[in-house]
Amino acid sequence: MTTSTVTRVRRQLPSSPWLFAAPGLLITGVFILYPFVSTVVNAFTDRRTLVPGKFVGLANFRELLHDDMFWIGLRNSALYVVCVVPALVVLPLLLALLVRKNIPGITFFRSAFYTPVVASIVVVGLIWVWLLDERGLVNSLLETVGVGRVGFLSDQWLLLFSAMAVTVWKGLGYYMIIYLAALANVPRELHEAASVDGAGAIRRFLTVTVPAVRSTMVLVAALSSVAAFKVFSEVYLMAGPSGGPAGEDTTLVMLVQRTGTGLTGRVGYASAISLVVFVVTVALMLLVLRADRRDES
Amino acid sequence: MSVSRKTLATAAFLALVLPLSACGSGGDNGGSGDASGKVEGDITFQTWNLRANFRSYFDGVIADFEKQYPGTHVKWIDQPAEGYADKISADAAGGTLPDVVNVSPDLVAPLAKAGLALDLDKAAAKYKKEYLAGAWASHQIPGTTGTYAFPWYLNTGPLFYNKSLFKKAGLDPDSPPKTYDDLFADALTMAHKSDGKVATLANVPTIEDFGRYGVELMNKQGTAFTFNDTKGVQLLSKYKELYDAKALDPQALTATPESSGKKFLTEAVAMNPGSALDLGNFKKQAPNLYKNIGITDQITSTGHVNMYVMGVMVNSRTKRTPAAVAFAHYVTDAEHQMSFARKVAIFPSTAGSLEDPYFTKEDGTDETRVRIAAAKSLKNAVNYTPVLFSDQMKTALRNEVAKALQGKESPKAALDNAVKACDTLLQQQG
Amino acid sequence: MSVLQKARPVSRTEAPREPRVTDEHGRRIRVGELVVRYVLLLAVLALTVGPFLWQLSTSLKGPTEDIFSSPPTFLPGHPTLHNYERVADTIPVWDYALNSLKVAAANVVTNCVGSALAGYALARLRYRGRRVATLVFILAMLVPVEGIIIAQFTTMRELGLNNTLIGVVLPGCVGAMNVLLMRNAFRNLPYEIEEAAYVDGANVWQRFLRVALPSVRGTVAVVAIFAFMGAWDDFLWPLIVLSDPSKFTLTIGLNYLHGTFANDERLVAAGTVIAVAPLIALFACLQRYFFRGVGEGAVKG
């Protein structure tokens, strides 16, 4: 298509673009960005839930540097990204390859694999807490096969890894669908050429499939890393409001919730943590996008 | 887009949005603190997770009140257990707090400091004598004068223990521990004899445990915490010993009241604090355990058992002060507290009510026995948890205690840190 | 675009004749490979759906049945709806479900309309400030919502919409994520489609309604599902906005269960089944469009 036709198609009534975008912009502005701007302002005050507070400069951020809980939160949120993102980039791709071929009943399997995505995180949390309970199904099974019971919900690290497993479990279906769509665009000839060359399944996967869906992998990495860094519900529901033994499973957003809510909440300090979370997620996003751009060029 | 245009756009956006933030909360014209006018008008009454079980009771109380004071209308709203503090703080910050609110002392403290709770010593002093002195005082806040809520129901309970587990460990099932020394010794025996499979305690010590052990929690002025004294360290060291011996459940660090209750139900833990309410639960869910249930008094070093207090607060900005005060008093007066107590295992905070035959006359059932013992102990019970002890402080203490139990810090260092963190939080509360 | 669409006729006609199973390119799949595939599929199925079935099974077990046994009993010995009756006795399930339905339905409508409009503006229309508008939605997606809930409530109160179902719907009624999904879907449409309409003299609204929108039906289905899920599942925001119990939504109601009967796994299980069943049903109905839609909207970030 030539540029001129594109321009012609894009021409429209003078006021309409803003009319189209107005409802969305208005709602987002009033209910997301405006409250967020007040969060940014609050981050430089000592505001509390019922006390307006005053400007304190960078005091909240200086306090962060000496707050053990902040570093624990940063560690756990970062660890979450490091562990969950590779799993969510690779496993759904393998799953997509598995459900790709149209064998009888495959539509059922695809839908079934998507169910965890549909269920609410609170329900998912309750289900897994019950499954991983000291006397829940998983431990019953482990005991039956002679492994003995495991304290999934009482050990600091097992708790964090269990929460990660739940995040991956809930995310599998979503990213699987994204990969499925991307795989549909991979030309068959590439695979056949590789087969003729005598490449095995694993080599075909690495030399044909992976390069073909590379940009989708970047997208999945971007989406899942932002979500992983902001993780709250899974850990909160499994480790409890105080964040597991000695608070060692606290994530940054849990810390925001814990310090900033309730009648004695330190809104100012919690806002400072929120701001750190925001800056890190923006940085993660930019990092991934830059990697993507480099790939393209 | 060039950088400068981007900056410009951002600036324009901020200019558009920032002026809005100037009009935050406030602007509410506060009602008068005078409760002497005519009792009339519409008021809202908020309770905390009571609708599911006591709907007909409250509907009745409200109907009676409206009949007694024609021209009043009470709207009852009930909130679920979870998120109650979030709900109240949003309402308090947004100026939408109901007229009459069910609160606990730790919720009253910040509301009173923000001037949102009506001082009842001024507005309702004439009712003071109707309540137990200790209960009335439980909604007073160190550093301020005044009382900020009517006392409502009280709760306390015995310690349940599992007689068959005691027997298996070679302990006398008919002489449960009476002192902390007994308790710790029995717990170690239990753990030793069961190879660490049966713990005696399921929860890490909380602030009220320190109080019951006889630790001074705060200084007299209520300006600093003191639970890191020798006694406090002694208690935590003892718990550490129990934890190492598995006499304190290994999962205690992540336990909740529900999970430790479950452990007792399934006979993985030998003792659990509870109330008369739990007996019915045991009967239904664990008939085997119910046959072997032992009931003993709370263990204290002070002679005063712990009690929980619920209160009913009046919003200081209500437009219907006389009606709100009248209703708050109506719900918490002796007659209604007594009828509520007959519905559920709680205890009235009104003077003389605990002398009612319902709380003094045995009828041979366990429920009655537990009720009578609890009522007796309530006469000199104490709400150990300081009203200024916020959720954030509870978390700080819990986490430091966990570090000590895990051996990452000495008990002394852990309590020092906890006191330091709580003092900082206290000062920030202003 | 979609694997499903392309392949459906094949699987329908070929499926009954057992050995001639073919892949998406009509090539035969070897029996050995087929067995391996089904074994793997069943294994993943057990992992993804098993936990829900276990919850369902727990909720159907009567009070006398041991739910902690080892080895576990997967099927209830005497299935009973007793736990569901108790849930209904404790909370007005139907009233709350109706409220949830209203909120969810409103959320679906506003999200589909609002994000389709905004997505079209971001993808197809050219005007000064388009990049800023896009940025607004991207930033909104990154804002940690846990930190802004009280400010949202204050705004809602100033608008006089606290304690209304409208107040519950409003903050999420045009989700930023949904706008970006729609934008990507529109961007992936070839310009030729609209060009024809343009030549016929259709203005921008007509092109949007008659040409562009019908081509992204799948993404609209995705947005609908996300909007429904989001509204149906939310707990903290409705709790904070609503005061009047007659307006409560189902998630708040189910929380009463957790607060009142935390010790009873069977009852909590029944509550979670009530919460999740409508979503699974809705998804089952829309899944055909849905799978197509995720493809359109998300492939190219």
Q: Which of B10, B89, B195 to mutate to test binding with chain A, by most A CBs within 10 Å of its CB? A: B89
- The region that residue A146 occupies, defined by phi over 0 for left and psi between -120 and 50 for alpha, beta otherwise, is left
Sign of the alpha-carbon dihedral angle for B358, B360, B363, B367: positive
Contact B14 A135 (CB under 8 A): no
- Residue count (chain B): 430
Q: Find out whether B194 and B169 touch, Cβ atoms under 8 Å.
A: yes
Domain contains A24 = no
**Which chain B residue has its CA at the smallest distance from C130's CA?**
B1
Q: What pLDDT does C52 receive?
A: 92
Q: Is the pLDDT of residue B26 over 60?
A: no
Contact A262 B86 (CB under 8 A): yes
- The half-sphere exposure of A108 on its side-chain side, counting CA atoms within 13 A, is 9
Q: Average the pLDDT over C223-248 and give the result.
A: 83
Q: What pLDDT does B339 receive?
A: 92
What are B53-101's pLDDT values in tens digits? 888 999 999 999 999 999 999 999 988 877 788 889 888 888 889 999 9
Q: Average the pLDDT over B228-232 and give the result.
A: 93
CA neighbor of A120 nearest in space, from A128, A109, A112, A108: A128
Residue C256 CA to residue A75 CA, distance in Å, equals 35
Check which CATH number belongs to the domain holding A206 and give it. Answer: 1.10.3720.10
Range in B31-40, B130-139, C13-22 the model is least confident about: C13-22
Q: Would you state the torsion angle of the CA atoms of residues B32, B36, B38, B42, taken in this order, to the nearest 10 degrees?
A: 50
User: Which residue from A159, A241, A263 is facing B89, i.e. has the nearest CB?
Assistant: A263
Domain contains A21 = no
Asked if the bond preceding C71 is cis, omega within 30° of 0, the reply is yes
pTM of the entire predicted model: 0.84
Q: Enter the CATH code of domain B159-305+384-429.
A: 3.40.190.10
Q: What pLDDT does B181 receive?
A: 92
Percent of chain B with pLDDT over 90: 48
Residue B12: which pLDDT band, with cuts at 50, 70 and 90? very low
What are C243-293's pLDDT values in tens digits? 787 888 888 887 777 666 666 778 888 888 888 888 888 888 877 777 766
- The region that residue C7 occupies, defined by phi over 0 for left and psi between -120 and 50 for alpha, beta otherwise, is alpha
Q: What pLDDT does C4 receive?
A: 36
Who contacts B137 (Cβ-Cβ below 8 Å, separation ≥6)?
A: B147
Q: Average the pLDDT over B154-174 and give the result.
A: 90
Q: What pLDDT does B152 receive?
A: 93
Q: What pLDDT does C24 receive?
A: 52
Q: For residue C156, which residues of chain B lie inside 8 Å, CB to CB? A: 94
Q: For residue B82, which residues of chain C lie inside 8 Å, CB to CB? A: 255, 258-259
What's CA A40's distance to the chain center, in Å?
23
Q: How many CB atoms lie within 10 A of CB A188?
A: 11
Q: Cβ of C191 under 8 Å from any chain A Cβ?
A: yes
- The chain C residues in contact with chain B (CB within 8 A) are 63, 68, 90-91, 129, 131-132, 149-150, 153-154, 156-158, 162-163, 235-236, 239-240, 243-245, 252, 255-256, 258-260, 262-264
Q: Is the pLDDT of residue C241 over 90?
A: no
Q: What pLDDT does A296 receive?
A: 53
CA neighbor of A172 nearest in space, from C279, C48, C49: C48
Range in A232-236, B127-131, B244-248, C22-26 the model is least confident about: C22-26
Residue A241 CA to residue C146 CA, distance in Å, equals 14
Domain contains A35 = no
Q: Is the pLDDT of residue C6 over 80?
A: no
Tokens of A277: 């979370």
Q: What pLDDT does C294 receive?
A: 61
User: Which residue from B49, B95, B266 is facing C260, i.e. has the nearest CB?
Assistant: B49
Residue C155: which pLDDT band, with cuts at 50, 70 and 90? confident
User: Which residue from B21, B88, B428 is facing A37, i.e. has the nearest CB?
Assistant: B21
Q: For residue C61, which residues of chain A lie inside 8 Å, CB to CB? A: none
**Which chain C residue has its CA at the smallest distance from A187's CA?**
C25
Contact A134 B251 (CB under 8 A): yes
Q: What pLDDT does B217 receive?
A: 93
Range in A177-181, B362-366, C43-47 the model is least confident about: A177-181
Q: What pLDDT does C300 receive?
A: 41
Q: Cβ of B17 under 8 Å from any chain C Cβ?
A: no
Q: Is the pLDDT of residue C186 over 70?
A: yes
Q: Average the pLDDT over B109-125 and give the result.
A: 91
Residue B166 CA to residue B169 CA, distance in Å, equals 5
The shares of helix, strand and coil residues in chain C, as percent rounded to the nearest 5, are 75, 0, 25
Mean per-residue pLDDT of chain B: 85
Residue span of the structural domain in which A214 resides? 44-296
Q: Cβ of A282 under 8 Å from any chain B Cβ?
A: no
Q: Cβ of A149 under 8 Å from any chain B Cβ?
A: no
Domain contains A195 = yes
Q: What pLDDT does B5 receive?
A: 39
Domain contains A4 = no
Q: Is the pLDDT of residue B388 over 80?
A: yes
Q: Find out whether A183 and A100 touch, Cβ atoms under 8 Å.
A: yes
- Tell me which residue has tokens 């909604």: B139
CA neighbor of A91 nearest in space, from C44, C291, C290, C32: C44
Positions in chain A short of pLDDT 50: 1-6, 8-9, 12
Q: Average the pLDDT over B382-409 and give the result.
A: 92
What are A65-75's pLDDT values in tens digits? 999 899 999 99
- Tell me which residue has tokens 């029944």: C270
Chains that touch A (3 or more CB pairs under 8 A): B, C
Q: Which of B254, B260, B313 to mutate to test binding with chain A, by most A CBs within 10 Å of its CB? A: B254
Q: For residue C22, which residues of chain A lie inside 8 Å, CB to CB? A: 102
Q: Is the pLDDT of residue C126 over 60?
A: yes
Secondary structure (3-state) at C113: helix
For chain B, give every domain's residue range: 41-155+307-378, 159-305+384-429
User: Which residue from A5, A107, A126 is facing C195, i.e. has the nearest CB?
Assistant: A5
**Domains of chain A: total:** 1
**Which chain C residue has its CA at the smallest distance from B8's CA?**
C132
In terms of Cβ atoms closer than 10 Å to its own Cβ (0-12, 13-18, 19+), residue C281 is exposed
Residue A17 CA to residue B402 CA, distance in Å, equals 58
* Between B318 and C297, residue with greater pLDDT: B318
CA neighbor of A93 nearest in space, from A201, A192, A185, A205: A205
Could you tell me the CATH superfamily of domain B41-155+307-378? Periplasmic binding protein-like II (3.40.190.10)
Residue B2: which pLDDT band, with cuts at 50, 70 and 90? very low
Interface of C with A in 250-269 (CB under 8 A): 251, 258, 265, 268-269
Q: Is the pLDDT of residue B30 over 80?
A: no
Q: Cβ of A154 under 8 Å from any chain B Cβ?
A: yes
What structural domains does chain C harbor?
3-80 (no CATH), 87-298 (1.10.3720.10)
CA neighbor of B384 nearest in space, from B208, B158, B206, B153: B208
Q: For residue A261, which residues of chain C lie inside 8 Å, CB to CB? A: 149-150
Residue C30: which pLDDT band, with cuts at 50, 70 and 90? confident
